Amino acid sequence: MMMLVGNLFSQDAALQGQLENVYGVWRTAMIKADYPTWTKVTAAHRQMTVKNRLASERRVFPKGIFEVPTAPPVLTGLKAVQVKRNGATAKCVYFGKIDFGVGGEPTDNLIVIDYVQEATGWKYDVAEFVSLLALADVRAELAKGDLSYIEKTPEFAPTGKVPPIPAVVPVAKYISKVYVFCPGRMVEVTVNKISKHQFGNAKEAELVMGGLRDGLNEITYSVKGVPGGTGKEAMTIRVYAFSQVDGVKPVKAFEYQVLEGEAVKGTGAMTFDLDAAMSATLLGK
């Protein structure tokens, strides 16, 4: 069992040890491209999410699981500043010099690791790196053992809700992304009743699960204001299809755009056509 240096802030040393052991086995499986072991220690819903993502990117499964830009970081030497369980979920927050092995001198940041308890024990779910580059005060507080930032941020606590196993998506014919620009708003988008997305006060793009299909595609959206928003901000929702042919630019298959000051409908449901001309462009014909 792997135990860390400097785990003085752990709320549950026994739980911490169990979870770190799971992470260690998962990390080794990733490095060795050991699919059988990966399936044993990875949460069921995460396995399907990864499989769906690879299908949506037209990548080979299970080979694509292990084609990652960097190896998962080791936890040795980091401080477990929070270890919490809520029902069948747990979350560990670590502070320190997180090294992804890409060179340079690592600085003090956070890594947050989620776990799910299943019938055969705790399973790895997902990890998130949290940069403190723009939060120098928080970095200094954590270095002194002040956990105020962790304790008052809800995202650092386990939810207690195990995510459902998503439905299997088909291998995408066209790799696609939904792009949303929504300052001052929360926007939820669903593409073809399969791919669900949430954007908050953001300018981001996310992969469309299952991609787009020839002919009619569906999109629904809902919009809500967020604190600090005026309700007059511009907003854009777009869906792009990407070609796998070198040199072919993405095709904009859908756009809903609201200029600054214009009214925004709270909900909407529309269809858009990926027509023969778009298809020919994407396939390089």
Q: Which domain CATH number covers 74? A: 3.10.450
Could you tell me the pLDDT band of residue 9, with boundaries at 50, 70 and 90? very low
Q: Is the Cβ–Cβ distance between 189 and 219 less than 8 Å?
A: yes
Tell me whether residue 103 is in a domain.
yes
Asked if pLDDT for residue 4 goes beyond 60, the answer is no
43 and 152 both lie in a single domain: yes
Q: Round to whole Å and give the CA distance between 200 and 219.
A: 18
Q: Among 93, 127, 156, which residue terminates a domain? A: 156
Q: Looking at residue 77, what is its pLDDT?
A: 94
Asked if pLDDT for residue 82 goes beyond 80, the answer is yes
Tell me whether residue 58 is in a domain.
yes
Asked if pLDDT for residue 259 goes beyond 70, the answer is yes
pLDDT single digits (tens) 220-240: 999 999 999 999 999 999 999
Residue percentage of the chain with pLDDT more than 90: 92
The bridge status of strand 108-118 relative to strand 185-191 is unpaired
30 and 57 both lie in a single domain: yes
Q: Looking at residue 194, what is its pLDDT?
A: 94
Q: Looking at residue 101, what is its pLDDT?
A: 81
The bridge status of strand 235-242 relative to strand 251-258 is antiparallel
Q: Looking at residue 5, what is its pLDDT?
A: 36
Cβ count within 10 A of residue 215: 11
Asked if pLDDT for residue 135 goes beyond 90, the answer is yes
Nearest to 169 by CA among 14, 52, 260, 88: 52
Asked if pLDDT for residue 8 goes beyond 90, the answer is no
Q: Looking at residue 2, what is its pLDDT?
A: 41
Asked if pLDDT for residue 1 goes beyond 90, the answer is no
Nearest to 256 by CA among 245, 247, 268: 268
3-state secondary structure 19-50: HHHHHHHHHHHHHHCCHHHHHHHECHHHHHHH
Q: Which residue has the higher pLDDT, 168 or 5?
A: 168
Nearest to 148 by CA among 15, 5, 16, 9: 9
72 and 202 both lie in a single domain: no
Residue 261 makes CB contacts below 8 A (sequence gap 6+) with 232
Q: Looking at residue 7, what is its pLDDT?
A: 39
Q: Looking at residue 176, what is its pLDDT?
A: 98
Residue 213: domain span: 175-282
Q: Looking at residue 11, what is its pLDDT?
A: 52
pLDDT single digits (tens) 197-215: 999 999 999 999 999 999 9
Mean pLDDT for the chain overall: 94
Q: Among 156, 187, 208, which residue terminates a domain? A: 156
Residue percentage of the chain with pLDDT more than 70: 96
Cross-strand bridge partners of residue 79: 95
Mean pLDDT of 79-92: 96
Tell me whether residue 206 is in a domain.
yes
Mean pLDDT of 111-134: 97
Three-state DSSP state, 187: strand
Asked if pLDDT for residue 124 goes beyond 80, the answer is yes
Q: Looking at residue 84, what is its pLDDT?
A: 95
**Cis before residue 62, ω within 30 degrees of 0?**
yes
Could you tell me the pLDDT band of residue 10, with boundaries at 50, 70 and 90? very low
pLDDT single digits (tens) 26-52: 999 999 999 999 999 999 999 999 999
Q: Among 156, 183, 209, which residue terminates a domain? A: 156
Cβ count within 10 A of residue 230: 10
Tell me whether residue 151 is in a domain.
yes
Could you tell me the pLDDT band of residue 104, with boundaries at 50, 70 and 90? confident
How many structural domains is the chain composed of? 2
Nearest to 118 by CA among 93, 92, 84, 87: 87
Q: Looking at residue 103, what is its pLDDT?
A: 77
Q: Tell me the DSSP string of 123-179.
A: EEEEEEEE--TT-HHHHHHHHTT--HHHHT-GGGS--S-PPPPPPP-PPPSBEEEEE
Q: Round to whole Å and give the CA distance between 64 and 27.
A: 16
Q: Which residue has the higher pLDDT, 4 or 17?
A: 17
